[in-house]
């Protein structure tokens, strides 16, 4: 429920991931602690009450921990899934929320590192499957569970990373130690990518946007997807490694939403990309034109795009499409370097995010309650001081004032 189809935020570096996943642990613990402490029973963490601002500050910390770990350390290259960073970051922040001591916090973090780590195979062919949709939730649950165990007296392991033979480095990281680009601050939250435009794996966002722009040019020429002979995608290395699946079969939802060719082809054919387009039996999934065009889209790495992707000052996710038509016409390359929601396009994205917020509230609440939530979201002075449990209640029921 926290991040559906990547629709929240994304962090791209040596490792990828979604720092907003940590909200699954942070929001649940804050809400539980508030309700427990108001119930009149045994107080948790000396009766602490969390406001929305407290949750947002915890999220900045969790973003920073997960994101800084990801900057220089690639877990995918050793076959591990990025949710290990969710588990570690959530364990660290939840420890503080629960009032654990510094020593207990170290113990909880060590338990997160020693905990069996998820293999990344469920995100890749031939094993792509729905587990990738609940892996982060599982990591949040494990983080909270480990913190509660330490709170109840469980110890930790001082050399969980560095112990010869049995530590994380030797067992899971080819003997390498973690590297860090910068100290913890607020860099990750300031540079995180918000997914605004399409329900698509983030490395493809700019490719799909380029295809949407090219559709306008094709229409002006009286052409369509049926007239395309070939599409070349000049891209960055991470896109090729994760979602370049030109000739691989599309067996299920999970294959389609992690295939740049499928996403681009769907945009070319239908001038849209929605969540429904990934489903078995959908118009896009059963389209012969989408499947034919998908196999005509090839990816080639541009080393400069890859360098810009890793550059701390740029962090762009560039894709550039060149379309060749069946009559031999070659359209001018369409380049999109930063997707909507990138730091460089943050202001452009904000009104679109609020529109999306309103759109998804509308089917569930009255017009007046939607307006109340919208107004609250645009009023930090009121929002920040609101107790978390009272804010969560607004999404459960409409209060009669």
- 188-206 per-position pLDDT tens digit: 999 998 888 898 898 999 9
* Mean pLDDT on 226-245: 96
Whole-number pLDDT of residue 300? 98
Residue 53's SS3 state is helix
Instruction: Could you please state the CATH topology (level 3) that the domain comprising 202-344 is classified under.
Output: 60s Ribosomal Protein L30; Chain: A; (3.30.1330)
Q: Report the distance separating Cα 286 and Cα 275, nearest Å.
A: 15
* Mean pLDDT on 59-88: 97
Whole-number pLDDT of residue 5? 64
Burial class (CB in 10 A: 0-12, 13-18, 19+), 57: middle
Model pLDDT for residues 315-369, shown as the tens digit of each residue: 999 999 999 999 999 999 999 999 999 999 999 999 998 998 999 899 999 999 9
Q: Report the distance separating Cα 214 and Cα 334, nearest Å.
A: 7
* DSSP codes joined into one string, 120-137: GGGGSTTS--THHHHHHH
**Domain range annotation of the chain:** 9-194, 202-344, 345-393
Question: Class for domain 9-194, per CATH?
Answer: mainly alpha
Q: Is the pLDDT of residue 8 over 90?
A: no
Whole-number pLDDT of residue 204? 96
Whole-number pLDDT of residue 400? 47
Mean pLDDT of the chain: 94
* Mean pLDDT on 246-266: 94
Model pLDDT for residues 34-71, shown as the tens digit of each residue: 999 999 877 887 788 999 999 999 999 999 999 999 99
Q: Is the pLDDT of residue 124 over 90?
A: no
* Mean pLDDT on 277-300: 97
* Mean pLDDT on 73-102: 97
Whole-number pLDDT of residue 6? 63
Percent of the chain with pLDDT over 70: 98
Whole-number pLDDT of residue 401? 43
């Amino acid at each position: 429920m926290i991040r559906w189809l990547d629709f929240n935020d994304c962090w791209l570096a040596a490792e990828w991931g979604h720092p907003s996943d940590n909200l699954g642990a942070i929001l649940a613990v804050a809400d539980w602690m508030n309700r427990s402490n108001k119930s009149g029973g045994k107080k948790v963490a000396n009766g602490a009450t969390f406001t929305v601002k407290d949750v947002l500050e915890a999220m900045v910390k969790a973003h920073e921990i997960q994101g800084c770990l990801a900057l220089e350390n690639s877990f995918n290259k050793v076959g591990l899934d990025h949710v290990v960073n969710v588990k570690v970051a959530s364990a660290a922040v939840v420890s503080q929320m629960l009032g654990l001591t510094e020593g207990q916090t170290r113990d909880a973090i060590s338990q997160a590192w020693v905990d069996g780590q998820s293999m990344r195979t469920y995100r890749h062919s031939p094993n792509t499957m729905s587990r990738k949709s609940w892996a982060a939730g599982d990591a949040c649950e494990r983080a909270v569970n480990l913190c509660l165990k330490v709170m109840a007296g469980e110890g930790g392991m001082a050399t969980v990373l560095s112990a010869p033979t049995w530590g994380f480095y030797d067992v899971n990281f080819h003997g390498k130690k973690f590297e860090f680009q910068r100290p913890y601050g607020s860099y990750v939250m300031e540079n995180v990518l918000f997914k605004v435009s399409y329900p698509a794996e983030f490395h493809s966002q700019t490719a799909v946007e380029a295809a949407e722009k090219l559709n306008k040019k094709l229409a002006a020429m009286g052409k369509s997807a049926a007239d395309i002979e070939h599409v070349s995608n000049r891209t960055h290395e991470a896109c090729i490694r994760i979602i370049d699946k030109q000739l691989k079969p599309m067996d299920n939802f999970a294959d389609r939403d992690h295939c740049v060719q499928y996403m681009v082809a769907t945009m070319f054919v239908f001038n849209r990309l929605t969540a429904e387009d990934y489903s078995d039996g959908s118009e896009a999934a059963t389209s012969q034109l989408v499947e034919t065009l998908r196999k005509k889209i090839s990816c080639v790495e541009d080393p400069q795009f890859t360098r810009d992707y890793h550059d701390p000052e740029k962090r762009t996710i560039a894709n550039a499409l060149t379309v060749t038509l069946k009559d031999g016409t070659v359209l001018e390359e369409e380049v999109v370097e930063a997707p909507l929601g990138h730091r460089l396009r943050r202001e452009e994205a904000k009104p679109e995010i609020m529109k999306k917020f309103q759109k998804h509230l509308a089917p569930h609440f009255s017009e007046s309650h939607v307006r109340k939530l919208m107004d609250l979201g645009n009023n930090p002075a009121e929002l920040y001081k609101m107790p978390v449990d009272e804010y969560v209640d607004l999404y459960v029921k409409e209060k009669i004032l």
